Every structure is written in structure tokens, then in C-alpha cells.
Structure 1
Amino acid sequence: MSLHMSALANAHLPDEQTSAFARDVVVGLSDQPKRLSPKYFYDAAGSELFEQITRLPEYYPTRTELGILRDRGADIAAIIPEKAALIEFGAGATTKVRLLLQSCTFSAYVPVDISGEFLNAQAEALRQDFPALTVHPVTADFTTSFKLPDAIKDLPKVGFFPGSTIGNFEPHEAYRFLRSAREILGVGALMIVGVDLEKDERVLHAAYNDAAGVTARFNLNLLVRANRELGGNFDVSAFVHRAIYNREQHRIEMHLIAKKPQTVRLLGTSLHFRAGESIHTENSYKYSIERFAALARSSSWTVRSVWTDAAKMFSVQALVAEA
């Protein structure tokens, strides 16, 4: 066992979730290049900051996707089978799924997320607002295989994966997720996916480097969280947010850059940073219509319909699971 894993094993950690966070932080920051998983952005403070990001004038994805779901609701409804069950992968705030439920007739809704308490609260609110809809929350990691409720076994299946979350996966992870979703939903199922599109680099730069600095606070909150939950001593002011567009990889990269040489103590481990050294925190891949269609085909889906805004900034795509 390596030094940093030994320190981790001896740490007194209160629960499995904190243990996973601790393990991933120590391992990720001991790697070269250093990295942290974007899944740890979303503590209470990070979730609130992300909600602020979605309302920023520079951040186009959320409002553009909502506009497509609202404006093309009738077109989406036209391809939904009768009495279908809607399965949302990674169910969060219900704003987008409510638009879909208002436009389309579903007999059941299955929100899937790892946070059971949040999921059940959202499910109860939807039951109140859509009394004809049966809601079956499933607490699971949506990126892995999980079992659908027996109650929807014989219903047509429609997956829902909004928010361009597909772009946060590495291409091989996106392939694996789409293959897993196909196995879960079955041959012939539909999948409604939000896909962010390639565009002018200046628009992308502004979206991830907003003038108000909210995205910077969101990124730096990873270090704030490590200090609070893991007893770290990061000097957060000694790091700066940087988001760049990697043209070759078709992706926005988010980094935290050390402004000076420093040593951070965390769980009995010393983590050394050079001036200018990066912690890579997130990728957000941008697709052309053609490149996403190729990804879908490789994972046994066919693109049936593509809906975009007038400026072709964002797309909502309907996929069909092939045999």
C-alpha cells in the first residue's frame, strides 16, 4: 500500500460517501497531472452556485435547452409511444422533466439518482402536481447497471438525459453509458438526450469564465469542501480558476491553477504544488451533429430526430435503441 493510501486507511472517516471523497482527493492530487472528479462539485454550496451559473447571461446551455423543450414539445410528444414510462438518468431539479411531462403523456416516471432523500422529495412533489402519473424513484448510480421497477416491465420505455451531462463524460465513458442505458431500457426504446454543440470559441470561453466570477467560485469550492470535510489546509486564495477550450479534443477544460509553490496537508499526507501547476477538475465535450451520431451508432443507438435552437447552440436528440 502506498503512503497516501496508508494515510487514508488510518483516517477516521464518518461514512462511505466521505470515505470515497477522501480516497479520490488524495489519489487524484497525488497523480501527475493532478485531477479531481467533477462529481464532487455538488455539495450544498456547489449546487447553489451551479443554480446561479444556469442564470448567468453568458451561460447559454440551460436556457437554450429549456427553450427547445418548450418550443418543440409537440414534436417530441409525437414520437412518444402510448402509455410509455419515462426513465430519467441522474434526476435533479425537475424543471426540465416538468416541461416534458406537460407536453407528453406518460403513464409512469422513474427518476434515478444516487441521492435517495432528495429523490424521494422530488418524487412526492411530482405526484402532487401530476396525480395521473405513477412515480417510482430508484436510488442508484445511473452510470452503472440498475434494475427498473417491475411495475413498468411491460410498458414502452423512454430514457431522458438532459443538461448536456453526456459531454462531461470522456468519449469512452459516454459510449459505456449509452451501452448501459440501451441494456436497461431494451431494444426499441427511445432516449431523449441533451447535447451541447460546437460553436464560436469566444462564446464557450465566456460561458465558463463569466464576468461575475460565479464559475470560478464553483470550481474553487472543491478546495473549500476538502478543507471542511477532510481537514485540509488549502489556501483557496492561492489558486485561480481557468477554463480553456481544447480545440483538438473539442472540449472545455476546467482547471485550478496554483499561483505559487505550496504544500497542503490532508489526511496525514503532504501534497506539493509547483507554481502554475494545474488540478484538472472537469471536461465538457462539445459535439457536432455528425460526431454525436457516430457515437450513438457505435453504442447501438440510431438518431431519430434532432431539435436545435435557431442559432444551433444546443440540441435535444431522440435516439432509438437498435438490436
Structure 2
Amino acid sequence: MTGRPEPVVRVVLDPERAAGSLVADVRRGLGSAPRTLPPKWLYDDRGSELFDQITRLPEYYPTEAERRLLVEHAAAIARVSGATTVVELGSGTSDKTRTLLDAFTAAGSLRRFVPVDVSEATLRSAALMLAQRYPELAVEPLVGDFTLHLGHLPTGDRKLVAFLGGTIGNFYVEERAAFLGALADSLDPGDALLLGTDVVKDADRLVAAYHDSAGVTAEFILNSLTVLNRELGADFDLDAFVYVPFWDPAMERIDMRLRAETPQRVTLPGADLVVDIAAGEEIRVEISTKFRPENLRDELAAAGFSADPAHQWTDGDFALTLAHRLP
């Protein structure tokens, strides 16, 4: 050990703004057709626990597929990116990222790791572990929402921003373009982006990954209504909804919805909102877009990134793409 001080956690997330964001999202989403809820509100403590269970399910292949790709290609990613700072968006426990950090450490180039997440407790715990595992590395956690706080990313060093887990697939097309453009604006020419994406494959296999036999994914999606009942004083009857996932071939995405089995009037005092939901009506809670390598390169190029096909790695299930910020 070098005696490096305990990691200093930087908090840029404003709890009051987060509460206001929830209200705005709910008013906009439940007032639209079809009704929607942003997936980020799934991840309270219970939701995070359920998602961790999902990643361990036999039907859910993305987590382990991505882990295998990272193990196989981490050394090349470290070499090609040339980064001295690694930033991870939606870092959580930084579990898979350790494979990257090991490769960068072996290359002798890495000086700083900046994990970004909305959960301060999770970041603090992970940062302490990482500081012990990598005593020469400056670990600088940032508590923030990566859809809002890209302007707080570190500057100066050559950076690699890792955005793993297929999370980019949870964005709608226009949201994805806006996010990637904002990310490009926050980076310097030559900085790198490592993007983990699920790939288009057999529809039955895709649906099975989001409709597990144990019902964990259904509970995860239903948890969105539990969050609204708790945070906004809503009176959703959870027993009146059934989880409905399906493959949308036109958009090439899994669509995860809750379907009302009986009509109900839902009051959300915290959002000053009353919603009448008809029997059979659905609330879209989350999407998970699947990508084709050439289409992803086009999206990245439109946002200001260049992706060499030689730096796209896939096993047919999942893919890692290393792109660079254009001048």
C-alpha cells in the first residue's frame, strides 16, 4: 500500500432536482400515447437487487457474454485507446470494469478511474475496494446522472469512457442520438468510447432473455409502479397488471410493458395527476434495442465518433465497440 488517502466522492446529483425530474417524467409519460415510464426509475434499492438477480439468470446471456469479450479484448482496448483516465458511466459495483482496469494497469498507462453512478452508497463501497486493489490508481467517484451530468466528467487526460451492459439500448432513437452527441461534446478529440451492445439475433432467444421462467424480470418491471406508489403516493393496484414483453422487428428492440387487466383510476398526489387506465391498456416501462455493427457505426459517426470495424468485437450474442472522438 502507498498510503493513498480514501477516495473522495464528488456529488453533483441534486436530490430535489431528482424528485422534480420524477414528477416531470411521470406527467409526460403517463400523459402520452402509448403511456410510458422512463426505465431509470426502476433502479431503487429493490430494483437494483432484482436486476442483479436478472444478470445471473440462465436465460439472460448479455452479462456473461460481455464479460467474456472484456477478458478477451481488454489488452487491445488499453493499447488502442491509449487512455490514462477511465470513466465508467452507470458503474454500479464496477464488477466487469476490473477486467479493464487490470489490463490498463498491466500496460502501465492508467492514472485515474472515475466511476459514475446515481447511488452514492454503491460508489463508496466500490471505490474503497478498488483503492485497495489498485493502490497506485486515483479513484475519483462521481455521484451523478449520466444523462444530465456529462459536463462534470474530468478533463485534461486522454480518456476512455466505458458505457457497458447494453444500457445504450434503453434509449429511444432520438434520445440515443442526443446522448451520444452530448457525450462527444464532453470529450476531447482522440478520447475513446467503449460501448457494450446487444446484437440482433433469433427473436425467440431474445424474448426468453426478458421473460425468464422464475418471473424475476416481471417483478423488476412491476417494481416501477411500486416506486411511484412510494415516491408519489400513487395507488396503483399491482395485482391488476401483467408483464408483457415482445420483440418489435421494425425497431429491432425488446419492448417491456405492463398491461392493465382491469380498468382503474390511478391517483398520483405527488405529481398532481389522475390517470384513467382502460382494461387492456399498456404502459411501456423499458425498451432494449439490439444493434447491427454497421448501423451502430453510422449512429456513432453521426454523433462525432469514428469506429474502426477492426475494433468491434462480437461473439454473435453481444458486442464491444471502441470508437474515438473525431477532431
- TM-score when normalising by structure 2: 0.88
Which whole-Å CA distance do the structure 1 matches of 2:180 and 2:212 have between them? 31
Cα contact 2:93–2:122 (8 A) shared by 1: no
Moved more, 298-307 or 247-256: 298-307
1:319 partner amino acid: A
Cα deviation 1:293-321 (Å, max 9, x = unaligned): 11111112111301112xx1100111011
2:314 partner amino acid: T
Query: Counterpart of 2:287?
Result: 283
Cα contact 2:254–2:288 (8 A) shared by 1: yes
Query: Counterpart of 2:298?
Result: 294
Which whole-Å CA distance do the structure 2 matches of 1:276 and 1:247 have between them? 22
1:51 partner amino acid: D
Cα deviation 1:244-295 (Å, max 9, x = unaligned): 1110011111100000111122216432111110101111111101110111
Moved more, 238-247 or 297-306: 297-306
Which whole-Å CA distance do the structure 2 matches of 1:148 and 1:17 have between them? 19
Is 1:132 paired with 2:133? no
Query: Counterpart of 1:104?
Result: 104
Is 1:227 paired with 2:229? yes
Shift of 1:143: 2.2
2:32 partner amino acid: D
1:94 partner amino acid: S
Q: List 4+ stretches of structure 1 deviating above 6 A.
A: none
1:72 partner amino acid: H
Shift of 1:117: 4.2
Is 1:198 paired with 2:200? yes
Which whole-Å CA distance do the structure 1 matches of 2:300 and 2:25 have between them? 30
- Helix, strand or coil at the partner of 1:303: strand
Is 1:40 paired with 2:44? no
2:313 to 307, 316, 319: 307
Shift of 1:15: 4.5
Query: Counterpart of 1:91?
Result: 91
Query: Counterpart of 2:117?
Result: 113
Cα contact 1:108–1:135 (8 A) shared by 2: yes
Cα contact 2:81–2:191 (8 A) shared by 1: no
Gaps of 5+ in 1: 1-13
- Helix, strand or coil at the partner of 1:131: coil
Cα contact 1:65–1:314 (8 A) shared by 2: yes
1:67 partner amino acid: R
- Helix, strand or coil at the partner of 1:257: strand
Cα contact 2:181–2:303 (8 A) shared by 1: yes
- Helix, strand or coil at the partner of 1:110: strand
Query: Counterpart of 1:273?
Result: 277
1:118 partner amino acid: T
Which whole-Å CA distance do the structure 1 matches of 2:191 and 2:37 have between them? 35
- Helix, strand or coil at the partner of 2:151: coil
Which whole-Å CA distance do the structure 2 matches of 1:59 and 1:184 have between them? 33
Which whole-Å CA distance do the structure 1 matches of 2:35 and 2:65 have between them? 33
Cα contact 2:92–2:119 (8 A) shared by 1: no
Query: Counterpart of 2:265?
Result: 263
Which whole-Å CA distance do the structure 2 matches of 1:322 and 1:183 have between them? 10
Structure 1 pair 195/269, CA: closer, same or farther in 2 (3 Å)?
closer
Which whole-Å CA distance do the structure 2 matches of 1:178 and 1:15 have between them? 26
Query: Counterpart of 2:184?
Result: 182
Shift of 1:129: 1.3
1:143 partner amino acid: T
Which whole-Å CA distance do the structure 2 matches of 1:16 and 1:170 have between them? 23
1:317 partner amino acid: T
Cα contact 1:80–1:104 (8 A) shared by 2: no
Moved more, 198-207 or 101-110: 101-110
Which whole-Å CA distance do the structure 2 matches of 1:16 and 1:320 have between them? 32
Shift of 1:45: 0.7
Which whole-Å CA distance do the structure 2 matches of 1:123 and 1:216 have between them? 32
Which whole-Å CA distance do the structure 1 matches of 2:22 and 2:304 have between them? 34
Structure 1 pair 199/86, CA: closer, same or farther in 2 (3 Å)?
same
Cα contact 1:159–1:185 (8 A) shared by 2: no
Which whole-Å CA distance do the structure 2 matches of 1:84 and 1:16 have between them? 33
Gaps of 5+ in 2: 1-14
Aligned length: 304
- Helix, strand or coil at the partner of 1:255: strand
Structure 1 pair 269/107, CA: closer, same or farther in 2 (3 Å)?
closer
2:163 to 161, 164, 168: 161
Structure 1 pair 134/27, CA: closer, same or farther in 2 (3 Å)?
same
1:321 to 311, 318, 325: 325
